[in-house]
Amino acid sequence: MSRLILADTGALVALFHGEDAAHPWALARFQEFTEPLVTCEAVLTEALHLLRKLPPAHFSLLALWEREMVRIRFSAESERDAIRKLLRRFGNVPMSFADACLVRMSEIHSDCAIWTLDSDFRVYRRSSRQSIPLLIPD
């Protein structure tokens, strides 16, 4: 895959949590990626929090970040206004802060796909009307 892959919390958790129902799917997709994954601090924080009781999984995700196979390329501080607008616009879904950051990242990087398990991304729109390319189980 040559386009930028934006990693969401659920996909990262499923990748490292062997008992997660989506683990086989997440692992198969991950093995197809040729470039580092890109995400935001909010997603990495959520995923590490959810994996905290599974030390091997927790440290495997940290190792992926340390080896720069997962990169944080987003500043919520500089994108505050755009994130706030997204959170208000999709407040009825409801949209999490991490989701808003990923949607904003998809606006900034037009040639991307969000790797996710979260069906809310089918509802979210970037740049007001465009659906977001997703890598999501059927």
Task: Tell me the pLDDT tens digit for each residue of 67-110.
Answer: 999 999 999 999 999 999 999 999 999 899 999 999 999 999 99
- Predicted model pTM: 0.95
DSSP 97-115: HHHHHHHHHHHH-SSEEEE
For the chain, the residue count is 138
As given in the structure block, the two tokens for residue 125 are 């729109």
pLDDT of 1 > 60? The answer is: no
Give Cα 58 distance to the centre of its chain.
16
Closest CA to 87 of 77, 97, 78: 97
Check residue 2 and give its pLDDT: 67
Domains along the chain with CATH numbers: 4-135 (3.40.50.1010)
Task: Tell me the pLDDT tens digit for each residue of 3-61.
Answer: 999 999 999 999 999 999 999 999 999 999 999 999 999 999 999 999 999 999 999 99
